[in-house]
Amino acid sequence: MAPSAAIVGTACTTWLTCQDKRLEEMIFETAQAALQDAGIGRDDIDNVVLAASDELDGRSISSMLTAMPAGALLKDEVKVTDSGLHGLILGTLRILSGLYDIGMVVSWSKVSECRPSQVWRGALEPFFSRDVGAIDPLLSAAHAARYVADYGIDVSLLDAVANRMRNRPGTPDFDAAPTYLAYPLKASHFAPTVDGVAAVVIASSQAFAQRRFAHQPMWIRGMGWDTDAYYLGQRGWDGWKSLRIASRLALERAGISLSSVDVVGLEDISSFELIMGVEAIGLADQGHGAEWILDSGYSINSLANGFGGYPPFCAGLWRISRITQAMRSSGAQHALVQGRTGQGAQGHAVVVLSQKSEGGM
């Protein structure tokens, strides 16, 4: 029987500001909570995957200080610098290799201590792009401007989608200025960024034969990822090709169709990104994503709404954690979750979860 992997424990926390709380303390508390949620201790895990950015952490090889509070002391540990969801994929692949039985993935970002815009500038080539300042939101705005021009989109739809997400019941009230950051994107089109940590415990099917966990497993049925060209002008303007590829691969490997997915969790750092995500995975035709969000009746991101506080970098793993916890007590059977990386959403990762273990990878 081929090995399979499932999420057995999870925890996530976001803070509006954590200037009085050390990052290591935030990581320790969340990692410990994930182990407790799984009903196990640190001695039970055999590997740890960290997903974090040295630049956002403000130090080179930041795992020298963050690995231990993440539970990786004297454990087999590896680090991913793409996104929290890419970390989950690597952690799952390690389990599927048959070399590990129980692992933990931990991801975080503490943007209250830095200016992310200055951090992102370091990723640009220094001779042209860095001087121009082609970082988000400027890069996303360039794509958005082409999008509204090509499809004749009324820019007010970007306002309407942002307002729909921001005005959901239980969503904290953040100030949202209607001023343009870079046409056609306004500050109010973006989710408010917060500090955050997410941790997920993954176990192999063999581990279930040897021990009991606190919750029924949430099986990881399919995974896909893809990275587009570095330069925006080389990616094409017909939507997010890399997300189309990643979602198709994840669904094919899961052995299910998009119509069978009950819960969808997409990147929503801005209303434009949410619109692009809806179109790229195939829920709406190109140029009609905003209309679909507003009129379809499907409550997109209902279990993890970034407009209530979006934790950069770890957002994908944070979304997995929130959705997994919610699905335990709901009748939902399948979920599709997206994470992104790079300037202007250069790369994407997609994971398909299921209450059922049969099928898939």
User: Which residues are 263's β-sheet partners?
Assistant: 335
pLDDT at 24: 93
- Arithmetic mean of pLDDT, 158-180: 87
- Arithmetic mean of pLDDT, 234-245: 90
Q: What are phi and psi of 30, to 5 degrees?
A: -75, -40
Say if residue 93 is exposed, middle or buried (CB neighbours under 10 Å; 0-12, 13-18, 19+).
Answer: middle
pLDDT band for position 359 (50/70/90)? low
Q: Are 306 and 325 in contact (CB under 8 A)?
A: no
pLDDT band for position 232 (50/70/90)? confident
The CATH number corresponding to 5-114+194-210 among 3.30.70.20, 3.40.47.10, 3.10.290.10, 1.10.1760.20 equals: 3.40.47.10
Cis-peptide into 126, omega within 30 deg: no
pLDDT at 322: 96
Give the model confidence (pLDDT) of 102-154 as tens digits. Answer: 999 999 999 888 777 777 777 777 887 777 777 788 889 999 999 999 999 99
pLDDT at 323: 96
User: What 3-state class would DSSP assign to 258?
Assistant: helix
Q: At what angle do helices 315-327 and 84-96 cross, to 10 degrees?
A: 70
Q: What does the domain layout of the chain look like in residue ranges?
A: 5-114+194-210
Q: What is the DSSP string of 301-340?
A: TSSS-GGG-B-TTTHHHHHHHHHHHHHTTSS--EEEEEEE
Give the model confidence (pLDDT) of 281-332 as tens digits. Answer: 999 999 999 999 999 878 889 899 999 999 999 999 999 999 999 999 888 9
- Arithmetic mean of pLDDT, 87-104: 97
Indicate the DSSP class of residue 113.
G
- Arithmetic mean of pLDDT, 245-254: 97
User: What 3-state class would DSSP assign to 7?
Assistant: strand
